[in-house]
Structure 1
Amino acid sequence: MSTPDTPDAAMASPMRGLYGITPEWDDTAQLVAAVEAAARGGLRAVQLRRKLATPAKRLEQARALRAACGRLGVVLIINDDWRLALDAGADGVHLGRDDGDIAQARQAGGPALLIGASCYNEPERARAALAAGADHVAFGAVFDSPTKPAAVRAPLSCLADAHRLRLPGASRPTRPAIVAIGGITPANAGQAVAAGADALAVITALFGASDIEAAARAFARAWTADPAGNSSSKA
């Protein structure tokens, strides 16, 4: 599948493919089992997003997912809290508008910590996040979102435009990974990938599915099919 990239602007980040975001489940065993099922279907990264849990429960689940993701080869991202990411040994953190300072997270976590930033529909916010130390940027909601029905809409053109962004200080032109979020389903996933998304962040259509492994497989086909759903040999 073609992308808006130029050959000298390779993406080095591991943030590509299906990127699950956890629901508000207190049952840690259920959460780990769901991530394992999604990984069997092609999940590449997961974000622990617990807005309502206690700090103790978040740490418990972060550590449980760290162990599971290590076995599965899945990237683990923690939402909101870079300190929790470091305490749990996670691969990275995702920071929204009010979730903390990117530069501080980069200084504390060093170059190995993956840092994502919510950029909504604002390319200037993405540029500022990259300058502060982020290495992947998320745009959305790209479709109507059942999780955040009032979320600002980001047109798919934001994803293509973001391919022109570059990480500062690289020895060669390197772009950030581009994450699409908001209302993504297997039916529309191919549109987001064709528009330029490297990773698709999904909550409901993955972890709310009756068969999580099958749902993950359906999403994974977005990277091997055109937007009309026709299979392709190109990745």
Structure 2
Amino acid sequence: MRASECQLYLITPPSIADLERFAFALEQALDAGPVAALQIRLKPAEDASVTSAVRRLAPIAQSRGVAVILNDRPDLAAALGCDGVHVGQSDASVASARRIMGKSAMIGATCHDSRHLAMEAAEAGADYVAFGAFFPTSTKETVHRPDPEILTIWQEVMEVPCVAIGGITIENAAALVEAGADFLAVSQGVWGHPIGPAAAVGQFTKILTPSP
């Protein structure tokens, strides 16, 4: 289902040095405003590290009604009780992720700056497609830089929700909301916020809350 208004989709930092400290920050962030999903994205990481992170962080999110999405690994996502998985173009296919995780799981797909890839993912059964990176980001190497218009066009022709990702901050988020993003996927813009993650979520909430 398409979101009725744009929602916040958090992504963990690519590495977490202190899991307990991050768990505390996550609790504060999720209590600061509505968050639709948390993607656990650790790269590179051993299976044991990913497993530890999911077991510690997933209960925090799920107890607050936040869907837990694991990056790349439908096998681990299914085994660890995640709500879904996000796959890139070089990872498992949407169809194989669906087979592994079942009909009720949330499957998302990276589509860079390509409506063609997004349509293929939607036809394969993806629950959402992700476009980006819209802005420069230090979280991962990116070569694609779509125009926000891709969100507007997608909204006009497709029902599958779209996620905007890549370098999104308090300062640049509004343009993507206006363009038609159903979700804003944010990592460094929250965890690296100078006043702290909770303050960042609170500020994003103001941007994403429609004016009366």
Give the alignment's TM-score, normalised by structure 2.
Answer: 0.92
Partner of 1:180: 164
In structure 2, do the counterparts of structure 1 residues 218 and 74 end up closer, same or farther at CA, with 3 Å as the change threshold?
A: same
The one of 126, 143, 155 aligned to 1:163: 155
Asked if 1:204 is matched to 2:188, the reply is yes
Q: Kindly state the Cα deviation for residue 124 of structure 1 after the two structures are TM-superposed.
A: 0.3
Structure with higher Rg: it is 1
Counterpart-to-counterpart distance in 1, 2:183 and 2:12: 15
1:56–1:165 Cα change, 3 Å: farther
The 8 Å contact of residues 165 and 176 in structure 1, kept in 2 or not, is answered as no
Does the CA contact (< 8 Å) of 2:6 and 2:208 recur in 1? Answer: no
34-43 or 211-220: bigger deviation: 34-43
What does the per-residue CA deviation read over 1:152-175, in whole Å, with 9 as the maximum and x for residues that have no partner?
101100111111444xxxxxxxx1
Q: In the alignment, is residue 221 of structure 1 matched against residue 212 of structure 2?
A: no
Alignment of 1:63-102 (within 5 A): 63-102=55-94
Q: Is the 8 A contact 1:76 1:91 kept in 2?
A: yes
Report percent identity of matched pairs: 38
Residue 129 of structure 1 and its aligned partner are, at CA, apart by 0.7
Q: Which digits, 9 at most, give the CA deviation of each residue in 1:171-200, with x for residues without a partner?
A: xxxx11110001111111111111001111
* Distance in structure 1 (CA, Å) of the matches to 2:170 and 2:132: 17
Q: Does residue 1:20 correspond to 2:10, yes or no? A: yes
Superposition pairs of residues 130-169 of structure 1, within 5 angstroms = 130-148=122-140, 150-166=142-158
The TM-score normalised by the length of structure 1 is 0.83
| In structure 2, distance between residues paired with 1:149 and 1:49 | 14
Which residue identity lines up with residue 9 of structure 2 in the other structure?
Y
> CA separation of 1:118/1:86 partners in 2, compared to 1, >3 Å: closer, same or farther?
same
Between the aligned partners of 1:116 and 1:101, the Cα distance in structure 2 is 10
Indicate the SS of the match to 1:139.
strand
Is there any run of 5+ residues in structure 2 with no aligned partner, and where?
Answer: none
RMSD value, Cα = 1.9
Given that residues 26 and 53 in structure 1 are in contact (C-alpha distance below 8 angstroms), is that contact kept between their aligned partners in structure 2?
A: no
Contact 1:177 1:198 in 2 (8 A): yes
| Structure 1 segments of 4+ aligned residues over 6 angstroms from their partners | none
Structure 1 position 15, deviation (Å): 10
